[in-house]
A = this chain, B = another copy of it.
């Protein structure tokens, strides 16, 4: 066991830091997140720059335009990049979910998108969730019917992150209602410019609209846009969902304890023993996340699938987020719920607090994750399912 950088890793880290110092802006107290409509083009431009200088797709296979390095190297680069203002947040779906799925299941033609993503030319969104299918994603009812060599799609999707900015989407639709729910789903690539697609922003409590509802009316998708086999979309989707969980967990230690300590100092509470206790707890959670991260990365670099570690880390991360926000809200006191320009450090704490549901729900609710953990981690038998083997069309609605 050796947590430190090997000499090769240390050299790479130094090289990364030097390049970043020259090409990016170091984070400071004055750093503020960009509004969404500026953040998306900025992230694409940053990705293009990374690609131009050879820092994109570090651990991706060379065949897909990557550098073929170990995943430890890309983590090192991300650790260094996290100290700068430039982020790739809006590209999470594209780089973290779509690209790995296309690498595993895409046709050669479809895989050509990967290079475009790597160059920062494409933004993708995910059209999976539906108003009637949340945790039970496979119950989805958006229909796709084959007409010659074109699929005609009708239905409604929800929680489409950045749908208003995306050029492409990955879409799950039901192509055979006469078989059990998991067996009649197909995975498509859809062009978001198709006239049948209408994206409507969902205003959240924060007043922002990160998410959208997406209405699909006679959307026409060419047959070659099916990823994997027709009716086998569920197994393709599993790759995407596993990648989603990794990117949420991999969000890193998230709210750094330093930021929380600063808030405590700023509000004059850093010496309050109760607050200090909470700061120390935050530190403990963050140490655990960091150490869990070591395990995930070690497994990944040895080509083991870090499934259990990832699940644990995702749940630990959600707990950390919620508990940290509670401390922050306590520190902000009567001012915690001031909105808009009146808020203290508004762009940081309050929306993050109100958005905690996204951490808890995204990539599967805590409850669903714990059930999976019971099976994978503890070898517990599954809860009996009441809908196994029943054709989708015969399920109660």
- Give me the interface of A with B, judged by CB distance under 8 Å: 273-274, 277, 384, 386
In the bound complex, residues from chain B placing their C-beta under 8 Å from that of A384 are 386
In the bound complex, residues from chain B placing their C-beta under 8 Å from that of A273 are 273-274
A39 to B384: give the CA distance in the assembly, Å.
Answer: 48
Q: Who on chain B is nearest to A272 by CB? A: B273
A277 to B273: give the CA distance in the assembly, Å.
Answer: 10
A-B contact pairs, 5 of them (CB 8 A): A273-B273, A273-B274, A274-B274, A274-B277, A384-B386
In the bound complex, residues from chain B placing their C-beta under 8 Å from that of A277 are 274
A-B pairs with lowest CB-CB distance, top 5: A273-B273, A274-B277, A273-B274, A384-B386, A274-B274
Q: Who on chain B is nearest to A386 by CB? A: B384
A123 to B384: give the CA distance in the assembly, Å.
Answer: 44
Shortest distance between the CB of A34 and any CB in chain B (Å)? 40
Shortest distance between the CB of A217 and any CB in chain B (Å)? 36
Q: Who on chain B is nearest to A277 by CB? A: B274
Q: Who on chain B is nearest to A273 by CB? A: B273
A386 to B277: give the CA distance in the assembly, Å.
Answer: 47
A347 to B324: give the CA distance in the assembly, Å.
Answer: 40
Q: Who on chain B is nearest to A384 by CB? A: B386
A386 to B274: give the CA distance in the assembly, Å.
Answer: 48
A273 to B276: give the CA distance in the assembly, Å.
Answer: 11
A87 to B273: give the CA distance in the assembly, Å.
Answer: 41
In the bound complex, residues from chain B placing their C-beta under 8 Å from that of A386 are 384
Shortest distance between the CB of A79 and any CB in chain B (Å)? 34
A386 to B385: give the CA distance in the assembly, Å.
Answer: 11
In the bound complex, residues from chain B placing their C-beta under 8 Å from that of A274 are 273-274, 277
A384 to B384: give the CA distance in the assembly, Å.
Answer: 10
A5 to B354: give the CA distance in the assembly, Å.
Answer: 46
Shortest distance between the CB of A45 and any CB in chain B (Å)? 49
A277 to B278: give the CA distance in the assembly, Å.
Answer: 13
A384 to B386: give the CA distance in the assembly, Å.
Answer: 9
A274 to B384: give the CA distance in the assembly, Å.
Answer: 45
Shortest distance between the CB of A367 and any CB in chain B (Å)? 14
A274 to B273: give the CA distance in the assembly, Å.
Answer: 7
A277 to B274: give the CA distance in the assembly, Å.
Answer: 8
Shortest distance between the CB of A129 and any CB in chain B (Å)? 24
Shortest distance between the CB of A388 and any CB in chain B (Å)? 14
A384 to B385: give the CA distance in the assembly, Å.
Answer: 11
Shortest distance between the CB of A276 and any CB in chain B (Å)? 9
Shortest distance between the CB of A191 and any CB in chain B (Å)? 43
Shortest distance between the CB of A42 and any CB in chain B (Å)? 45
A274 to B280: give the CA distance in the assembly, Å.
Answer: 13
A16 to B273: give the CA distance in the assembly, Å.
Answer: 46
